[in-house]
Amino acid sequence: MKNREIVYIVSDSVGETAELVVKAVATQFNRGYVEIKRQTYVESFEDIEDVLAMAIHGSAIIAYTIVIPTLKEYLDKRAKDIGIHAVDLLNPLMEAFINKFNQQPKYQPKLMRKLDDDYFRKIEAIEFAVKYDDGRDPRGILNADIILIGVSRTSKTPLSMYLAHKRYKVANVPIVPEIKPPDELFKMPRNKCVGLIISPDKLNAIRKERLKNLGLKSEANYASFERILEELDYAEKIMKRIGCPIINVSDKAIEETADYILDILKKERSS
């Protein structure tokens, strides 16, 4: 049985990129017995010396993804001095980018990990908004960054999703006269909650169109003016009881309302 060949992955981050490249290359040589060892978060000359000591003992190859120039230069020089084959997996492409775009890189480690973390935070926020949409589970209120409250058709759901794409966990709660608001709503700091109101005429038109799309008669109680006035009056009483800021969404686009919400909450939390 052949001895296992060793490739040391050296990275100032987690080393995932380098490992994938090494595995892809190894398969081209039918080197299924190549052993890969990761040395991650390398941040000093001492860290590099530790890797070199292990690599020279096993006559290993070093494949590295280090973007900090001083560390890269040190590894290149020391590996050459002691006869270890060290391969820079990033620099050739980095140089091509510099020449093509006439721009210098940031030379900051862990940027890919930051992008990944940002992506997963967005996915988590979107899943949260879906799970706690329309008051489905009031327990979500306690874990939300923002709680939107208002009567039906005040854009609570689209606003929740838009804010979720900005990494905010949003729960929204419909206010209906016949249904007691969840107790959790009154346990939250007022600077996490936003009330959404709309003009009766605008809401009447929106609800009539909604009924039309559903194939229902526009004369239904849902779209009646008296019902709308009753709901709006009740909703405002709840909002005043909570003490939260109130936004009129009558003539605002989703993006405009979302920016306004974030601006209001920022001021509320800093005061």
Return the structure tokens found at 31: 């080197």
Please report the beta strands in 74-192, taking only residues with DSSP state E, as ranges in sequence order: 86-88, 146-150, 170-174
Is 157 part of any known ligand binding site?
A: yes
Q: Is 207 annotated as a binding residue?
A: no
* Residue 270 annotated as binding site: no
Residues 6+ positions from 55 with CB-CB distance below 8 Å: 6, 8, 61, 62, 84
Is 80 marked as binding a ligand? no
Does 17 show up as a binding residue in the annotation?
no
Q: Is 152 annotated as a binding residue?
A: yes
Q: Exposed (0-12), middle (13-18) or buried (19+): which is 224, by Cβ within 10 Å?
A: middle
- The answer to whether the CB of 127 falls within 8 A of the CB of 171 is no
Comparing CA positions, the residue from 2, 7, 19 lying closest to residue 58 is 7
Q: Is 121 annotated as a binding residue?
A: no
Q: Take residue 229 and report the two structure tokens written for it.
A: 């006035």
Question: Is 150 one of the annotated binding-site residues?
Answer: yes
Tokens of 152: 């039906």
Which phi and psi angles does 158 have, rounded to 5°?
-60, -35
Please enumerate, by residue number, every residue annotated as part of a binding site for ADP. 150-157
Please enumerate, by residue number, every residue annotated as part of a binding site. 150-157
